[in-house]
Structure 1
Amino acid sequence: MLARLQSAMGRNDLIDKMVLLPEPKQDQITESINLIVGYDASPNSHTALDIAFWIAHQTRLATNQQVTVQAVYVLVESCPIDYSNILNFGKRSPTIELPINQQTKSGISVITQPQLTGIKSYLQTDTITPLQEADRVLWQARSLAEEWQGSFKSHLRFGCVSTELRKIAELEAADILFVGCKSVYHPLIQALGSDFPCAVLGIPDSIDE
């Protein structure tokens, strides 16, 4: 997947820069592919989600396999690690799963800021609750998903970010987790641990150059 991304972008360093945790050994090959994205509507997570959609689109074209992109927003509760500046998660809210299947036009641009119709009016609320904020974040993810053809699901979880991302990765049998981190030394990557159930990819510097 990353080799195709490198070729399309004329880069030869993306694999080294993006793989933050390597893919564990797998004993079986699945017919479907699940790409999970830790999403919080920040610019870095937008980039991670956009990369995931692009890879999903190219993988469908190259292999004819079913690919599902899933965005996960975690509302932090009792988590000892601060993920500020990369994943700014909010406070407690009930767990909700919001599935959606997208059958709209496919996008051809990559690593771009999403064009979200009506987003200005949605963001003009003076005071919103944590649940409303979570709904806004996942709405942005679904809006970005409309630019791509394929299957998309979104999840709202509460708890510790690394714990909840691990749970979703295991539950959905994820092939890749995308996060908005740029370094293996980021606290989130350290918290995920070396035994994470799937490969973890971040975003490289100057990816849009």
Structure 2
Amino acid sequence: MLARLQSAMGRDDLIDQMVLLPEPKQGQTRQSINLIVGYDASPNSHTALDIAFWIAHQTRLATNQEVTVQAVYVIEEHPTTDYYNILNFAKHLPTREFSVSAETKSATSVITQPKLTGIKSYLQTDTVKPLQEADRVLWQARSLSEEWQGSFKSHLRFGCVSTELRKVAEFASADVLFVGCQSFYHPLIETLGANFPCAVLGIPECIDE
């Protein structure tokens, strides 16, 4: 995947820049590919999502394999670490997952902002604004997926960022997790741990050049 990206951009250093945690040794062949993106609509996470869609598109063309991109927005229950401009989360919300949008494939219809479902009983004064923000963030992710016309899912989760990203990656049997980090020294990468179930890719520093 990264070799094709390097070739398209005329670079030879993207693998060194983007691989923040290496792929675990698995030795298994999958019929479908799942790309997970930690997303919060910040510029860096938006770049990570765009790269994921580009890689998904090129992989479909090159291999004819089914590729699904899944955006994950996490509202942190008790934030203690500043992830600055990568994943920013609200406070004091219960650990629970809600489905924000159904899987989208090859859509050409007019984009309308989806509404959160299954949360009416959860709407309290201190949770309405974070949930409205989550609605907006994941709508942006879905809008970008419409441009790529690929298979897309979105997730809204509550809890610890690294824990929830791991849960989604394990449940989806993810091949890659994309995040908006540019260094493996980033606090988020450190909390994901060396035994993460899939490779973790960041965004290259040359993206601003």
TM-score by length of 1: 0.86
Deviation at 1:88, TM superposition (A): 1.2
Deviation at 1:207, TM superposition (A): 1.4
SS in 1 for 2:102: strand
> Contact (CA 8 Å) 2:35, 2:52: kept in 1 or not?
yes
> Residue in 1 aligned with 2:162?
162
> Residue in 2 aligned with 1:124?
none
> Residue in 2 aligned with 1:181?
181
Indicate whether 1:96 and 2:98 are aligned.
yes
Amino acid at match of 2:84: S
> Residue in 1 aligned with 2:133?
133
Amino acid at match of 1:148: W
Write the distance in 2 (CA, Å) between the matches of 1:140 and 1:67.
20
> Residue in 2 aligned with 1:35?
35
> Contact (CA 8 Å) 2:68, 2:151: kept in 1 or not?
yes
> Contact (CA 8 Å) 1:72, 1:165: kept in 2 or not?
yes
Write the distance in 2 (CA, Å) between the matches of 1:14 and 1:47.
14
Deviation at 1:28, TM superposition (A): 1.4
Amino acid at match of 2:98: I
SS in 1 for 2:164: helix
Count of residue pairs brought into register by the alignment = 191
Deviation at 1:104, TM superposition (A): 3.5
**Percent of aligned pairs sharing the same letter:** 75
Deviation at 1:192, TM superposition (A): 0.2
TM-score by length of 2: 0.86
Spell out, residue by residue over 1:31-59, the C-alpha distance to the aligned partner (whole angstroms, 9 max, x if none).
00000000000000010000000000000
Runs of 4+ that moved beyond 3 A: none
> Residue in 2 aligned with 1:112?
none
Gaps of 5+ in 1: 106-116, 120-127
> Residue in 2 aligned with 1:110?
none
> Contact (CA 8 Å) 2:44, 2:85: kept in 1 or not?
no
Spell out, residue by residue over 1:118-147, the C-alpha distance to the aligned partner (whole angstroms, 9 max, x if none).
99xxxxxxxx61111100000000001110
SS in 1 for 2:147: coil
Write the distance in 2 (CA, Å) between the matches of 1:196 and 1:15.
18
> Contact (CA 8 Å) 2:43, 2:85: kept in 1 or not?
no
> Residue in 2 aligned with 1:195?
195
Alignment RMSD (CA, Å): 1.9
Deviation at 1:169, TM superposition (A): 0.3
SS in 2 for 1:90: coil
Write the distance in 2 (CA, Å) between the matches of 1:142 and 1:90.
21
Deviation at 1:150, TM superposition (A): 1.6
Deviation at 1:182, TM superposition (A): 0.4
SS in 1 for 2:105: strand
Going from structure 1 to structure 2, the CA distance change for 1:34 and 1:118 (only over 3 Å counts) comes to closer
> Contact (CA 8 Å) 1:56, 1:68: kept in 2 or not?
yes
Deviation at 1:79, TM superposition (A): 4.1
> Contact (CA 8 Å) 2:31, 2:66: kept in 1 or not?
yes
Amino acid at match of 1:194: A
Write the distance in 2 (CA, Å) between the matches of 1:181 and 1:31.
29
